[in-house]
């Protein structure tokens, strides 16, 4: 009887652990799928940016999201229009966003707040 109870407990524990495990963290997904990507690649993955900014020799594309989103969605319908106000910190201006920084047509940096692109 003790063996059956222990076996049942192990099966249940393994089931719960496997269901909640994250295969790839948000950072791993973003580094693999966004860093060094071209502008065309970002456009095909995320659509048109809500706003663009030019900073020195870099260009920043900002995607404003009204709710948390997952990368699996083909077209992210939760984008909200953003005003074209220059300057200011993104984290203080927007609740949920993705900002992608380009140099020479390639992504050199990404920044997010309030979105989760992890793969479970």
Tell whether 119 is covered by a domain.
no
Model pTM? Answer: 0.64
Look at the chain and report how many structural domains it folds into. Answer: 1
Cα-atom radius of gyration of the chain, to the nearest Å?
A: 20
**Tens digit of pLDDT for each residue in 72-116?**
443 333 333 333 333 455 655 778 899 999 999 999 999 999 889
CATH number at residue 76: 3.30.1450
Tell whether 7 is covered by a domain.
no
CA terminus-to-terminus distance, the chain: 36
């Amino acid at each position: 009887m003790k063996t059956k109870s222990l076996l049942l407990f192990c099966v249940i524990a393994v089931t719960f652990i496997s269901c909640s495990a994250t295969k790839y963290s948000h950072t791993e997904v973003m580094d693999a799928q966004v860093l060094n990507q071209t502008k065309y690649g970002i456009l095909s993955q995320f659509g048109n940016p809500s706003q663009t900014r030019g900073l020195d020799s870099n260009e920043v594309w900002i995607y404003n999201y009204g709710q948390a989103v997952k990368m699996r969605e083909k077209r992210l319908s939760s984008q909200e229009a953003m005003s074209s106000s220059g300057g200011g910190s993104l984290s203080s201006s927007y609740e949920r966003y993705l900002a992608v920084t380009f140099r020479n047509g390639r992504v050199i940096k990404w920044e997010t707040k309030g979105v989760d692109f992890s793969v479970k």
